[in-house]
Amino acid sequence: MYILSTSIPNDLFQAAYFIFMKYAPLFIFGAKNTLIIALSSTLIGLVIGLGVGIIKTLPISSSDPLIKRLFIRFIRLITSIYVEIFRGTPMMVQAVFIYYSLNGLFSSSRILAGIFIVSINTGAYMAEIIRSGIQSLDNGQNEAARSLGMSNFQTMVFVVLPQAIRNAFPAIGNEFVVNIKDTSVLTVIGISELFFQANSIAGSIYKFKETFFVAAAVYLFLTYSTTLVLKYIERKMNMTGYDGPSSSTTPLITAHFKGETS
């Protein structure tokens, strides 16, 4: 697919159009990989975040046996170390370190390696999102559930988490959008996502400005359409009767949630 750079128009937009038409399958292939990695990592990261976020909010009561208190403190320490390390270092560094540390483990599929890296990175951010989602709930919800006789586990699953996840949904969705952009760092371990594809195309035709203009447009298309879908889901969720914070000092917030179930 070698072409002379002289056959490419000089105008930026025309050139970008030309490049996109010429290399559409390569861009689409990259965009597909970007989406696959971003979506699976966000979902897996959410699962990790739920686990870690719940651990971080586990109550320690002075009436608990010493062993239980020590155990909770221990796993909390582990989760804190995990969260701090993965939030405190660049994902590009994590990608290179993990990929070469687990040399051979992902030899069959680089995409899997990418999903693995982005998932544990996202998990660290999700943990904080879920933790604050749980802690922002009024304790009365918890007490009401317990006073009906629900166990701690039932209270978490049927009362706390549904509300925490709904409250945190905008932040969770934002992680997905961030991941679409941040998967570009996986190019350093040779995963053929969108940035990697653009880089290869640009290198073969010596048109960096034009090619990355196309890449930017494709990224923007991906993130903007994702944002629209997320907003739609958010609106749907709010129609199933969110009460707003129970405090009466937030009338402006509750005014947004006027829907009702049918």
Q: Is 249 in the site for another protein (CB under 8 A)?
A: no
In angstroms, the Cα distances linking 111 to 19, 49, 114, 118 are 25, 21, 5, 11
Tokens, residue 217:
């447009």
Measured between alpha carbons, how far is 1 from 198 in angstroms, rounded to an integer? 15
Q: Is 259 in the site for another protein (CB under 8 A)?
A: yes
String of contacts with another protein for each residue 109-138, x by CB under 8 A: -----------------------------x
Nearer to another protein, 29 or 257 (CB): 257
Q: Is 140 in the site for another protein (CB under 8 A)?
A: yes
Stretch that binds another protein, among 124-132, 149-157, 204-212, 221-229 (CB under 8 A): 149-157
Number of C-beta neighbours around residue 246 at 10 A:
11
Member of 95, 159, 172, 185 binding another protein (CB under 8 A): 159
Reduced to 3 states (helix: H, G, I; strand: E, B; else coil), residue 83 is helix
Measured between alpha carbons, how far is 6 from 12 in angstroms, rounded to an integer? 14
Tokens, residue 39:
């979506």
Member of 22, 69, 146, 181 binding another protein (CB under 8 A): 146
Q: How far is the CB of 158 from another protein (least distance, A)?
A: 6
Q: Is 7 in the site for another protein (CB under 8 A)?
A: no
In angstroms, the Cα distances linking 246 to 135, 137, 143, 158, 165 are 14, 9, 14, 18, 17
Member of 78, 143, 203, 228 binding another protein (CB under 8 A): 143
Lookup result for tokens 């090619």: 211
Structural contact between residues 30 and 192, judged by C-beta atoms closer than 8 angstroms = yes
Residues of this chain that interact with another protein (CB under 8 A) are: 61, 63, 138, 140-141, 143-151, 154, 158-159, 162-163, 166, 240-244, 246, 254, 257-262
